[in-house]
Amino acid sequence: MKKPKHLLPAVLLVILIHPACKKSLPAAGGNTLEKTVVTASGTSSSTQTDLFVYNNQNQLVESIVSSTGTGLTASDTVSFQYDASGRLTSFIQGSPIGPLCRYDLGYNSSGQIVTATAVPLLPDYSFQNFSYGYNAEGQLTSDSVLEQALVASPILAVVQYDVYTYDENGNVIADTGYISSNTPPFGPPFAAAGVTHYQYDTHVNPYYNMGIPLAAPVLGYAQVLSKNNVVSVSSTYSSARPYGFSYSYYSNARPRTQVLVATGTSGAGGAQTTYTTEYFYQ
C-alpha cells in the first residue's frame, strides 16, 4: 500500500530480485551505512545520492536525498530528534520547497512506537496520521493510516492498514494491505487490496532498524523491519511488475553493490532501465 515514505523512484516499490551473486570483497570502512549512490542508465538517466548522518551516540539524525537527471534536480531531508534518554521523539519530512511536516511519536509502556501524529509545517497541506501494533515478540505486525473523515473535523478514521507476517529469522515475508470499502473510504468494513511477498538472503541488511517504517530510508517498510537483504519480491497488486536484482558483498556480509534491471510497460516497448546502487560505510 502506498504511504508517504522516503523512497527512491517509484519503479523500486515493486521489485523482483534475481538470486544474489556469490562475489565477496574485503570490507571497506565500518559497519554503519554512510552513503548510497544510485545511477540509472538506459531509457532514463539520473543519479540519486542518499547521505546518512549520525550523532555521537550513533543515532541517525538526518537522511538526505539529492537527485539529478534529465529535467530533474531535487533534494530533501528527513531529520530525526531524540530526547535526553536517546529515545526517538519526532522526525521532520523535508522536500525541495522546505520542511513539510513534523511527526510526533507516541510510545506504549513497552517502549514501542504506537502513534505518529502529523503536525503540518506549511499552510494548505494535510498529512495522514499512523498507528502501530506489535506481537508478543515485539515485531511490528500492523500499521493503520488515519485521515479526517470530514473537513475540519477533529475525528480521524482509518482509511487503510497493513498486516505483516515474519519468518523464523525475523524478516517480513508478507505485507497484506486492506482498504476501506466505504464511500467515501473511511472506517470499516475493510477489503483486502493485495499482498506483497518477500524473500531474503543471509547477509546483513544495513537498513535494519534504521529510522522507523514511516520514514524508511529507501525501499520502505520491509527494509527497516527485516534483518537480511530482500532478494525477491512478488505482489498481487495490479500495478506490480517483475524486476531483477543482483548483489555483491563485502567480507563483513554487507552489500557493496546492488543492480536492478527494470523492464518498462508494453506501451514503452519493454525498454529497460538499469539502476546500480553503491554502498559506502563508516
Q: Is the pLDDT of residue 151 over 70?
A: no
The mean pLDDT value for 71-79 works out to 70
- Per-residue pLDDT band for 171 (boundaries 50, 70, 90) equals very high
Helices (H), 109-225: 221-225
More confident residue, 267 or 233: 233
pLDDT recorded at residue 272: 77
Listed by start position, the domains of the chain span 10-281
User: Cell 501524529 identifies what position?
Assistant: 117
- Top mean-pLDDT range of 24-33, 109-118, 220-229: 109-118
pLDDT recorded at residue 24: 38
Q: Is the pLDDT of residue 6 over 70?
A: no
pTM above 0.85, yes or no: no
Residue 219, CA distances (Å) to 77, 89, 190 in order: 16, 23, 26
pLDDT recorded at residue 154: 64
Preceding omega of 9 cis (within 30 degrees of 0): no
10-281 folds as Porin (2.40.160)
